[in-house]
Structure 1
Amino acid sequence: MKSIELFAGAGGLGIGLHDAGFQPVNVIEWNSYCCDTIRENKKRGIAAVDNWNVTQGDVCKVDFKPYEGKIRLVSGGPPCQPFSMGGKHGAYDDARDMFPQAIRAVRETSPQAFIFENVKGLTRASFRNYFEYIKLQLEHPDIKARRDEEWEDHLARLEQHHTSGSRSGLNYRVVAQVLNAANYGVPQKRERVFFVGFREDLGVSWHFPLRTHSREALLWDQAHGDYWDRHRVARKDRPVASASVPSENHTNLTPWRTTRDALLGLPDPEFDPVASEKLLNHRFQPGARSYHGHTGSALDEPAKTLKAGVHGVPGGENMLLRPNGSVRYFTVRESARLQTFPDDFLFHGSWTETMRQLGNAVPVELARIVGEAVASHLPMKAA
């Protein structure tokens, strides 16, 4: 199934969608380090990206009209800085908002479906009107903003069109939901908002995949020893179970995956540097320290959200918190495990730059799950 990937970053969303059966005919990303990461893995013959055609540059300059009617899916993660909880919250006044380009790609290609993701901050109460504005534009991409039209005025026209019952032009059935990656088997508590739309003429009825993993199941697993037995943790080193843990596992869900689960089989880069440096991107990074608000990720819970930019690596949040209270930075390979990238995927650039790529990425496994749910509802042939 042919697709187009926008704002590809280091490829997390795209690799997951590849695993779900989509083949991008164009992968667009402006950041040179991200493009170098993808190109390096193409050279190394990594199957998930081997056939990707990478376009490095400004998406605003890409003409999507030649792809009209030829692709099944448009996907991507429009830059999230305008809505990030750690950013300046510029939203609709921020030139870095690339949702208009994502909507243009949908309008010009008329795909059967689209998948876009962004940070949870987009759903904040202060951005609610703009959230609805994005959703209505995705539902009715033909209703374009006029030259010099304020976004509030465009929103009013979209609302009028939406409530009029008119179904002329290009229309999509759109659903949006905040998904916690930990609830789908990713060893990281990472919440992102997903927009999924199907072209209206397909008549698709769809819902987001139901969660498969839970915190409650993890607590039960730990309280009754199965988790610790699996990891061969001595009884003297096991924490005392919380009194609130039920005596029975009342859920049919799988336990959340933890940081310990994710790092299984990797040598400690601080204490075994020789073995560690034989692995891709698994080198110890000194200088980690804990302070208020930046305490690292506990070993026996899903990791905290990996971060990027000035509130990520320099802030020190991308750290492992050991049971004895000491901390160290995650290596790039460990961070890739937390984002469920394959172990043979190499990240290009310095530690700070590669951690930025990972902090901005969509977990591969979450992308695969959403992608398979979308693919299963598309017609057998392109239309």
Structure 2
Amino acid sequence: MRAIELFAGAGGLGIGIGRAGFRPERIVEWEPNCQRTLLANRRARQCDTKGWPLDIESDVRDADFRAHEGKVELISGGPPCQPFSVGGRHRAHADRRDMFPEAVRAVREAKPRAFIFENVRGLTRERFSSYYEYIKLQMQYPELVAKGDEDWSAHLRRLERHHTGSRADPGLEYSLVAEVLNAADYGVPQKRHRVFFVGFRKDKAIEWSFPEATHSQDALLWDQAHGQYFERHAVSKRERWCNAERMKVRAERMTERPSALPWLTVRDALATLPDPERETAEGSKLSGHRFQPGAKSYPGHTGSPLDDAAKALKAGVHGVPGGENMLARADGSVRYFTVRESARLQTFPDSYRIEGVWSEAMRQLGNAVPVTLAERVARSVAVALETSASTKR
């Protein structure tokens, strides 16, 4: 199935949709370091990038998608999220980095059977509620564009009237579902919340819902209290639960094992990686697995405990990641995650390179979509599209 990938970043969403059976015909990403990452992996014939175009387009505002009308199954991407990020300046529609209008234009011109867009959870905050609704209505009715003298709020009111009124010919219309997903609930060793927008062409009459969560924190706590988690990782009794006594109490109150799989932890994710502070021949062969000195813990930036899913990796306002991109050891000491460790927490394969110096590579990873989460959502969309096509045949 053919796809167009917008705002590709480091490639997490692209890898996920590729594993789900989509093949990107066009990739658009303006940031030079992200472009270098995408091209380096494609030229190295990294297995997940097989079939990706070697020509990475830069500015989505210069791209014309009309030649793809009716020829692609999916448009996907993560429009720049800084206007809505908790770590950003919260300017929303007033921020020039808001690329949602360009995402909607791509849908309007190519008319794909489906789209998948994602963004930070901050977009759903109350202060952005009107603009959040505006984004959703634009996605549902991409042909109802703003007029020359119409600001976004006036356009929103017109979209609302169109949405609630009777329409003999609604034009291009999409059935939209939006939901905040926690990556840890889908097998990612990181508590990362992202809002996903999934739409299907309404004339295709496709029924769909977000995939059910497969993992849970309660299942992890049960495994730690009653299962083999600590024994499997050879964790000493002194070290167990040292970071979260309240979690131990919660676990011991459980009377039966939860049906879900356990959340994956930092320890699970990094178990097979050598310690970056101890130079080894094995470690030197791994791309990006280099120790970065200077980590410090301070209020609000205390790092991720080994025996829990990691806190959400952050990109940093100026490209330098914050203190949450750290490992917090049982003895209270901290160190920065290496690029390779961070890539594992985002479920990128070890064969995938992230180009740039440490701070730049961490910025790319801090903005990325976890591969596993992207694959789970995209695979469910692919199944719905294939089922619809086979039913019609």
TM-score range, shorter chain: over 0.9
The residue identity in structure 2 corresponding to 1:380 is A
Which of 165, 174, 177 is the equivalent residue of 1:175? 177
Secondary structure of the structure 1 residue equivalent to 2:364:
helix
Matched, 1:315 2:322: yes
The alignment status of 1:221 with 2:228, answered yes or no, reads no
| Counterpart among 238, 242, 248 of residue 242 in structure 1 | 248
Decide which of 333, 353, 357 is 2:364's aligned counterpart: 357
279-288 or 54-63, which deviates more? 54-63
Q: Secondary structure at the match of 2:28?
A: strand
Per-residue deviation, 1:314: 4.6
Please say if residues 185 and 256 of structure 1, whose CA atoms lie closer than 8 Å, have aligned partners that are also in contact.
yes
Instruction: Find 1:208's aligned residue among 207, 210, 227.
Output: 210
- In 1, the alpha carbon distance for the partners of 2:178 and 2:312 equals 21
Q: Does 1:146 align with 2:163?
A: no
TM-score (structure 1 length as normaliser): 0.97
Give the secondary-structure state (helix, strand or coil) at the position aligned to 2:375.
helix
Q: What residue identity is the alignment partner of 2:150?
A: E
Displacement after TM superposition at 1:44 (Å): 1.1
Rounded Cα–Cα distance in structure 2 between residues aligned with 1:130 and 1:84: 14
* Equivalence for 1:259: 266
Residue correspondence of structure 1 range 2-21 to structure 2 within 5 A = 2-21=2-21
Q: How does 1:1-383 map to 2 (within 5 A)?
A: 1-53=1-53, 54-166=55-167, 167-239=169-241, 242-245=248-251, 246-310=253-317, 313-378=320-385, 379-380=388-389
Q: By how many angstroms is 1:95 displaced?
A: 1.0
* Helix, strand or coil at the partner of 1:282: coil
Gaps of 5+ in 1: none
CA distance in 2, matches of 1:143, 1:56: 27
Instruction: Tell me if structure 2 keeps the 8 A contact 1:83–1:122.
Output: yes
**1:205 offset after TM fit, Å?**
1.3
Q: Distance in 2 between matches of 1:273 and 1:313?
A: 27
State how far apart, in whole Å, the 2-side matches of 1:323 and 1:56 are: 46
Structure 1: how far apart are the matches of 2:96 and 2:235?
Answer: 51
Q: Distance in 2 between matches of 1:51 and 1:310?
A: 33
* More divergent stretch after superposition (313-322 vs 70-79): 313-322
Code of the residue aligned with 1:316 in structure 2: it is: G
Contact 2:319 2:359 survives alignment (8 Å): no
1:273–1:284 Cα contact (<8 Å) kept: no
CA distance in 2, matches of 1:314, 1:117: 21
**Are 1:41 and 1:50, in contact at CA under 8 Å, matched by a contact in 2?**
no
Contact 1:262–1:338, Cα closer than 8 Å, also in 2: yes
TM-score, scaled to structure 2 = 0.94
Q: CA deviation at 1:264?
A: 1.3
| Alpha-carbon distance in 2 for matches of 1:39, 1:256 | 33
Contact 2:6–2:28 under 8 Å retained in 1 = yes
Question: Match for 1:78: what amino acid?
Answer: P
Contact kept in structure 1, 2:320 and 2:360, CA below 8 Å: no
Measure the CA separation in 2 of the matches of 1:302 and 1:292: 20
CA distance in 2, matches of 1:125, 1:249: 37
Query: Any unmatched runs of 5+ in structure 2?
Result: none
Deviation at 1:235, TM superposition (A): 3.3
Tell me, in whole angstroms, the C-alpha distance in 2 between the residues paired with 1:73 and 1:195.
13
Distance change >3 Å, CA 312–CA 260, structure 1 → 2: farther
Asked if structure 2 preserves the Cα contact closer than 8 Å seen for 1:306 and 1:312, the reply is no
Whole-angstrom CA distance in 1 between matches of 2:382 and 2:230? 38
The one-letter code of the counterpart of 1:131 is Y
Deviations for 1:316-340, whole angstroms, at most 9, x for unmatched residues?
2210001111100000000000000
Identity of aligned residues (%): 58
Distance 1:312 1:180, change over 3 A: farther
